[in-house]
Amino acid sequence: MVSTSVKNEILERYHEGRMAHAFLLETDDIDECYNDVIEIVKKLNCPYEFQEDCKNKECNLCKLINANNLPSLITISPIKQVIVLDDINYLLDKFSTIPVYSKFNIYIIKEAHKLNMESANALLKFLEEPTDNILGFFITNNKENVISTIRSRCQLFYCTYNREVSDKINEDILLNVKLYLNSIYHNKDDLLYNRTHMINLYDERKEWEEFFYTMFYYLKDCCFGSRDDKIDMIKKISKESLIQIILLIETIIKYIDANGNIDLILDKFVIEMRKYYE
Ligand SMILES: [Zn+2]
């Protein structure tokens, strides 16, 4: 797990007295990365020198963290795709006093790319006038989508987990992905195919998101890993094109995430794809 080195580096910097006040963690697995941040929080604060799992039965701090009850640790997640100003204001208010139970007041922003301008601006107070007892962790799956005023004030780390691709891929969805990719590769009427076959495939935005994530992981694995189920299209295009397609899918997922119209997104996908297989 690559992230072990990130954990160690942050802790090492802490012990050397040169730790940053804010971190931007770009990851391929937000939940896994969040768990790692929690472990860093324990290691920074645990009075019993937290090891793999705090063994000290008296350690209230680790108990409070495990129970999600430590007042000096606040996690903020998006509500309906947005990190709202109310949550940021709550954080600013809670952290206006020094921590009582732990060394640091620590906030974690999950899916930091979902901070809107007003939430980000409110948070800048912490980033522009850092105090020694406040630490911030911003977790995102794409640093480019994090508002630049936040991004530029954080120390950047990459936490890649390379979870087994098979864990992430649902075989039924994968089958649909392969059919789609092959059909738009062979089909001149690929936009029509969107109307006749694709648009009714899923009802929910979440399902479309999963569909394109499956495509993303499958193609990534075809490109950088070894898969013996490569479809025609993949065998015939160059690796360079394949990488471009993977980047395209990332963009498509962003559009879906941002509430874009699915019809238009599918058409955009097909039109962009043509560049790579013509
Ligand atoms: Zn502990």
Domains of the chain, each with CATH number or no CATH: 3-159 (3.40.50.300), 165-277 (no CATH)
**CA 4 – ligand 1 centroid, Å:** 19
Q: Please return the burial class of 230, using the count of CB atoms within 10 Å of its CB with bins 0-12, 13-18 and 19+.
A: middle
Per-residue pLDDT 10s for the chain (278 aa) are 445 678 888 888 888 888 899 999 999 889 989 999 999 999 898 888 777 678 777 888 999 998 999 999 999 999 988 999 999 999 999 999 989 888 999 999 999 999 999 999 999 988 988 788 999 999 999 999 999 999 999 999 988 876 666 666 888 999 999 999 988 887 777 788 898 889 999 999 889 999 999 999 899 888 877 788 899 889 888 989 999 999 999 999 989 988 889 999 999 999 999 888 76
Angle between helices 239-257 and 205-224 (to 10 degrees): 160
The pLDDT assigned to 70 comes to 93
**CA 33 – ligand 1 centroid, Å:** 20
Pair 141, 26: CB distance under 8 Å: yes
Cross-strand partners of 172: none
**CA 72 – ligand 1 centroid, Å:** 15
The pLDDT assigned to 88 comes to 96
The pLDDT assigned to 1 comes to 40
**CA 90 – ligand 1 centroid, Å:** 27
The pLDDT assigned to 155 comes to 93
**CA 104 – ligand 1 centroid, Å:** 14
**CA 157 – ligand 1 centroid, Å:** 25
**CA 44 – ligand 1 centroid, Å:** 10
The pLDDT assigned to 57 comes to 79
**CA 46 – ligand 1 centroid, Å:** 4
